[in-house]
Chains A and B, each alone.
Chain A
Amino acid sequence: MKSNEIANLEHNRSLINRRFFLGRAGVGLAALNGLIGTQCEASADDHPTLHSGPVTAHFLPKAKRIIYLFQSGGPSQLDLFDPKPGLMKRFGEEVPKSIYPDERKTTMSNAQTKFGTAPSAFKFNKCGQSGLELSELLPNVSQMADDMCVIRSMHTQAINHDPAITLMQSGSQIPGRPSMGAWLSYGLGSETENLPTFVAMSSRGSGKGGQPIYDRLWGSGFLPSIHQGVKFRNQGSPVLDIYDPAGVNSKVRRTMLDYLGKLNELKFQSSGDAEIQTRIAQYELAGKMQASVPELLDFSQETKSSLAMYGKDVRRQGSYAFNCLVARRLAERGVRFIQLFHQGWDQHGNLPKQIRKQCIDTDQPTAALIRDLKLRGMFEDTLIVWAGEFGRTVYSQGALTHQNYGRDHHGNCFSVWLAGAGIRGGMSYGATDDYSVNVVENKLEPHDLNATILHQMGIDHTRLTYPFQGRDYRLTDVHGTVVRDILS
């Protein structure tokens, strides 16, 4: 083979590799090239409706990847992140209407005759050198306080799970928009050859059955479907149809792939359709993936101490701990957007008992993930986001005692935290009133949070756009401001 042929071959191979999971569309590549400053037009035939302009980001990203720990159901800010010790003396008192008007109380509790104040049953501690106050429910995460920025002033329009979680993930309460990971795939392309660029995983909480989650949360909306996240299933085969059928060993598969490639190549020669070449490459890549996914989930090379760090559930597929370790392994293998969904944070009643279980599920593995990333020198360029879809009411839903209470959905304020890549640690941001009902300082909407997340990935959220139905859409719609105060 002549040297220029080899060079060509190498070039093609790298193209094919980069096209892994992108299928036929080169949009992600176009966007990626834009990012590093080259003017590059998405080729019209790859994606006919894409504007010819490049997606460009104008600053170096702080984060190479995101691990988004989504806590589905609406974790109680009052019991985890937003201490209100003053409420103890108001136990049982009616929450003033001036603080909590009736509007947008959900129909699950709006017909209550009493809205008695329910202070948290849990103590808050000053943690780390920063003295960030966190609940005693989070003993392990508390040790990471100096790395965390807790935002106490989140606000959302939505008060029900479906619209609220859809808003957090896609920037709209109404389904149909691309998820954040799909936007990132579209904007930044893929960094890995053998794994998807966007992986979603889910786990059931021990506290409560949990609210359902939906494919749209990692869906691509109106973006080309190559950008949709790949859901790693929490039981059985992690990626759909990743394993060969029973009775087909690797030799049989190899034989099949070899002849398939030859026959398809013949067809390519007679028809001239380049799509066939893409198909040949996709089959080869499927074969590679059949090796890389089992390897990903094989923890045999993990050290004992590393496994121990994540806790007793780490080997149970579908547990939060298992997913946290997989998240780290995905991060190591170049996956850009890793999203966990942990269900069960919906404490309408029996809150103290249930939330304790939720925290047992998540506290140790979350802290372990941060620690592990630090050990591997990856913390600095990994953005970790911990968030739910809304907060919970200060008034008790149902009966109230000192040991037991419930809390309904609450959109007016909730807490999230971030850590890692370019985030100032050991700080809280924003504040709520004495009841943790309304934001009184630095109110942030999901769009602001999402703008900030994109910013850490080197993307100007106002410029990552996609034309659909005659309009340029963004993750942040027409809103969103980067929260610079929490950046280091």
Chain B
Amino acid sequence: MSSTKFRNPLRIKLAILILFLISESIVADDVSYSREVRPILAAKCFNCHGFDAGSRQGDLRLDKRESAQHVLSLLDGSNLLLDRITSDDPDVQMPPPESKLSLSKEEINVLSQWLDQGAKYERHWAFQPPTRPEVPVVDSANLRNPIDNFIRSRLLAEGLTESEEADPTTLIRRLSQDLHGLPPAADLVNDFCEDPSDKLYAELIDQLMASPRYGEHMAVPWLDAARYADTDGYQNDRYRYMHVWRDWVIHSLNENLPYDQFILEQVAGDMIPDATLKQQIATGFCRNHRINSEDGSIPEEWHVENVVDRIDTIGTAILGLTVGCARCHDHKFDPISAKEYYQLFAFFNNVPEWGVGPNNGNSPPFIDVPESWPHLSPEENVAVVPDPVKLRGAREGQLGNGLKRPQAGNNKTVMVMHEMQVPRKTYLLNRGEFDNPDKSEALVPSVPKALHTTSDPQPRTRLEFAHWLVNDENPLTARVAVNRVWQQIFGLGLVKTSENFGTQGELPSHPELLDWLAIELIESGWDIRHIQKLILASSTYRQKSDISPELAQKDPQNKFLARSPRYRLHAFALRDSLLASSGLLVNQIGGVPAKPYMPPKIWRSISNNSYKQGTGDDLYRRSVYTFWRRTIPPPMMVNFNSADREVCNVRKDRTNTPLQALTQMNNVAFVEAARCLAEKMLAHSENPRLAIEFGFMELITRNPNEVELDLLLAAHREFNDNYGAKPNAAKELLAVGQKKRDETLDVAEHAAMTMVASLLMNLDEAVTRE
């Protein structure tokens, strides 16, 4: 046997060598600057040899070919860059030992191949405007729209197969959860199960989108991004009144205001010619930042922080850029200099505001909101001029206290943007410090050079800046928007780092699809619902979420979407869904924040004021209306990974912890919901089997199978035995929560069914989007 196999060892060696060379050349062909080289340079080199002139060493910058030519070129088979990165000599070696950075063998290989190939640079993908890519032709069945073509072609390339379509009950539940953050109404489920056609499916989507519940659910990620809250966020963290702005967002989404208009009005609605009051109210977006009212604060210092927060929020939420890095120095990775940062700053530095707040109430500029809001008459719907800042000594009785505060706006006002007649001068602040301006040059407002559009002139006012943001040529805005839509539905963006499309962000998993959707958004007239409908209609969306062991191994993050994602509901949707199933949810749109159950003394224990819990309906409103105190946010929400609303947030992780289990089992809101669901179950039928089936359906939108039902019935018997013998315990359990119970129900039966309902509410499936 060995005689044939090893007849010619030389030939074998040659074959190996050739194979090796072939594989080498395949790898060599594949070295991409954006995908492979740049991340290495950015992580290990740009700190000292990048865009930031302030920290640049040895006068070398590696982020541009022109300025790195001398270290990149090959001379007699060697080159300076390669010599330095492969040297062992601590004096020569790059990165230098004191940087505590080092290059791995693989990284050195990539760089050396890249050098071999002529060290080609590419412009960062996200800074080039998207163009509509070809829709790939895929030999595959059941393609409903181009999204499927893009997803399917990638699946084929990865050697993965799509999953089959989910059951109608799963689909309708999924649609309702994704569009409303609530389980579906029983009639929708029945209709769709009778006729699971594409036509009815599309009609149901329209129907769900036409409900006010849509805007309430869709608003949540934007409120997180816009750091909307009901308090100021520093120190005593007193009240402010921005719920009118919050309702503007919900109404805009319910009216399907085009996304370009949605952004334009929030950034500069006050400056639009003949602006309406609603457009002026939209600018509350730029005033949602925290405001410091602490005694002793220096107004100039905190005024700078207000403006910085505006820039950072717009950078992250609209442009997907971490512009904030350029506050103290030139951006180390993206082409934004500190000077350019302060030129952006200049757009937002012209508000007649005082850096310190009134310490309870809205900070000027604010305007009165008519009683009729949001149903304004045409006469009322006209932008008004806010009162100027009126300062008063904060503690005039206190000798030597120099603190001055502005007037406070009450809960009938809302904070807005306004432009001063004489613009405030903007200077570059050295190291970002308010008291360290570079007064050698007053800066004019401008957008970073790397993001200039072809149309001149470049923006010089906040309104022009807003127009620039939503200009069709802006390379980022549409991509960032469709990515967020994708992320909200699939749990993971096409660009996973939805907060960062810059050079340090992750590359898109499906770059062509991202661009195709971005163009689709622009060409549809910035119609977000159009994008959502495309996604919801796709076969990709309609797959089952079951995870085979093979899939779990090959694509654990479900990046390629060979199945529908399966994830725990967002904190708000989780609470709202359980309230809805129990019949407690109060559907009342907008208005002053609600104050649902909180742990006793939740505020008083660490701050200087008290939480006054609401009563009646106020306890059962949708979570989007829950009063949000920034320094002590509602613990139940935070427990389930809500953003804290201190700063702009566009992506939160999802955890699975025992603290969540405790909340779901023991929190008064959840126990009360279980009690009320039990009441509905008992009203439905005195037969435990039928009652349990009903409760299961209400919560989980399907019938339990026989095994499940047997287990639930067995549990019910045990609970029944317990409470039958302990009527006092039953009464105690039924006294949890403020909702009156139906006194005609037998206490033991009600308590036992309450425990069954609680058990159902704690099921994984009850709080999961499948």
Establish whether residues B296 and A160, one from each chain, have CB atoms under 8 Å apart when the complex forms: yes
Q: Given A161-B235, A240-B639, A463-B100, is A286 in contact with B566 using a C-beta cutoff of 8 Å?
A: no
Residues in A with CB closer than 8 Å to B729 are 247-249
Closest Cβ of chain B to A113, distance in Å, is 7
The CA-CA distance from A373 to B324 in the complex, in Å, is 45
Q: Given A48-B496, A247-B732, is A216 in contact with B296 using a C-beta cutoff of 8 Å?
A: no
Q: Given A235-B605, A272-B552, is A112 in contact with B707 using a C-beta cutoff of 8 Å?
A: no
What are the interface flags for A19-63 relative to B under an 8 Å C-beta threshold, 1 for contact and 0 otherwise? 011011100000000000000000111011100000000000000
Residues in A with CB closer than 8 Å to B506 are 49
Which residues in window 81-130 of A have CB below 8 A to B?
A: 103-104, 106-113
The CA-CA distance from A255 to B723 in the complex, in Å, is 13
Establish whether residues B552 and A274, one from each chain, have CB atoms under 8 Å apart when the complex forms: yes
Establish whether residues A236 and B657, one from each chain, have CB atoms under 8 Å apart when the complex forms: no
Q: Given A47-B653, A48-B496, A469-B500, is A259 in contact with B294 using a C-beta cutoff of 8 Å?
A: no
Establish whether residues A398 and B631, one from each chain, have CB atoms under 8 Å apart when the complex forms: no
Establish whether residues B548 and A110, one from each chain, have CB atoms under 8 Å apart when the complex forms: no
Interface: A262 (CB within 8 A): yes
Interface: B635 (CB within 8 A): yes
Q: Given A226-B657, A263-B711, is A240 in contact with B662 using a C-beta cutoff of 8 Å?
A: yes
Q: Is the interface of A mostly helix, strand, loop or mixed?
A: loop
Interface: B599 (CB within 8 A): yes
Interface: A486 (CB within 8 A): no
Interface: B421 (CB within 8 A): no
Closest Cβ of chain A to B623, distance in Å, is 17
Q: Given A259-B715, A260-B762, is A44 in contact with B557 using a C-beta cutoff of 8 Å?
A: yes
Establish whether residues A285 and B658, one from each chain, have CB atoms under 8 Å apart when the complex forms: yes
Interface: B387 (CB within 8 A): no
Establish whether residues B759 and A264, one from each chain, have CB atoms under 8 Å apart when the complex forms: no
Interface: B646 (CB within 8 A): yes
The CA-CA distance from A230 to B568 in the complex, in Å, is 22
Q: Which residue of A lies closest to B674 (CB)?
A: A245
Interface: A7 (CB within 8 A): no
In the complex, which range does the number of interface residues on chain A fall in? 35 or more
Establish whether residues B733 and A248, one from each chain, have CB atoms under 8 Å apart when the complex forms: yes
Establish whether residues B662 and A160, one from each chain, have CB atoms under 8 Å apart when the complex forms: no
Interface: A376 (CB within 8 A): no
Q: Which residue of A lies closest to B393 (CB)?
A: A111
Establish whether residues A244 and B666, one from each chain, have CB atoms under 8 Å apart when the complex forms: yes
Q: Choose one: B556, B646, B671, B718; the contact of A45 (CB below 8 Å).
A: B556
Q: Choose one: A24, A241, A259, A318; the contact of B714 (CB below 8 Å).
A: A259
Closest Cβ of chain B to A329, distance in Å, is 20
Closest Cβ of chain A to B179, distance in Å, is 23
Q: Which residue of A lies closest to B290 (CB)?
A: A175
Residues in A with CB closer than 8 Å to B734 are 247
Interface: A369 (CB within 8 A): no
The CA-CA distance from A286 to B658 in the complex, in Å, is 5
Establish whether residues A23 and B763, one from each chain, have CB atoms under 8 Å apart when the complex forms: no
Q: Choose one: A230, A233, A259, A271; the contact of B770 (CB below 8 Å).
A: A271
Which residues in window 207-238 of A have CB below 8 A to B?
A: 209, 211-216, 219, 224-226, 230, 233-237
Q: Choose one: B292, B548, B719; the contact of A255 (CB below 8 Å).
A: B719
The CA-CA distance from A408 to B403 in the complex, in Å, is 13
Interface: B474 (CB within 8 A): no
Of A140-148, A276-284, A429-437, A448-456, the segment with at least 4 beta carbons within 8 Å of chain B is: A276-284
Closest Cβ of chain A to B550, distance in Å, is 10
Residues in A with CB closer than 8 Å to B601 are 235-236
Establish whether residues A246 and B732, one from each chain, have CB atoms under 8 Å apart when the complex forms: yes
The CA-CA distance from A104 to B722 in the complex, in Å, is 67
Interface: A470 (CB within 8 A): yes
The CA-CA distance from A209 to B609 in the complex, in Å, is 11
Establish whether residues B755 and A248, one from each chain, have CB atoms under 8 Å apart when the complex forms: yes
Interface: B79 (CB within 8 A): no
Establish whether residues B646 and A216, one from each chain, have CB atoms under 8 Å apart when the complex forms: yes
Establish whether residues A275 and B708, one from each chain, have CB atoms under 8 Å apart when the complex forms: no
- A-B contact list, 6 entries, CB within 8 Å: A21-B659, A49-B506, A214-B607, A233-B605, A256-B759, A275-B656
Q: A interface vs B, CB < 8 Å?
A: 20-21, 23-25, 43-45, 47-49, 103-104, 106-113, 159-162, 174-176, 202, 209, 211-216, 219, 224-226, 230, 233-237, 239-249, 251-253, 255-256, 259-260, 262-264, 266-268, 270-276, 278-279, 282-283, 285-286, 289-290, 318, 341, 343, 397-399, 408-409, 462-463, 467, 469-471
4 nearest CB pairs, A to B: A470-B504, A247-B733, A112-B400, A106-B296
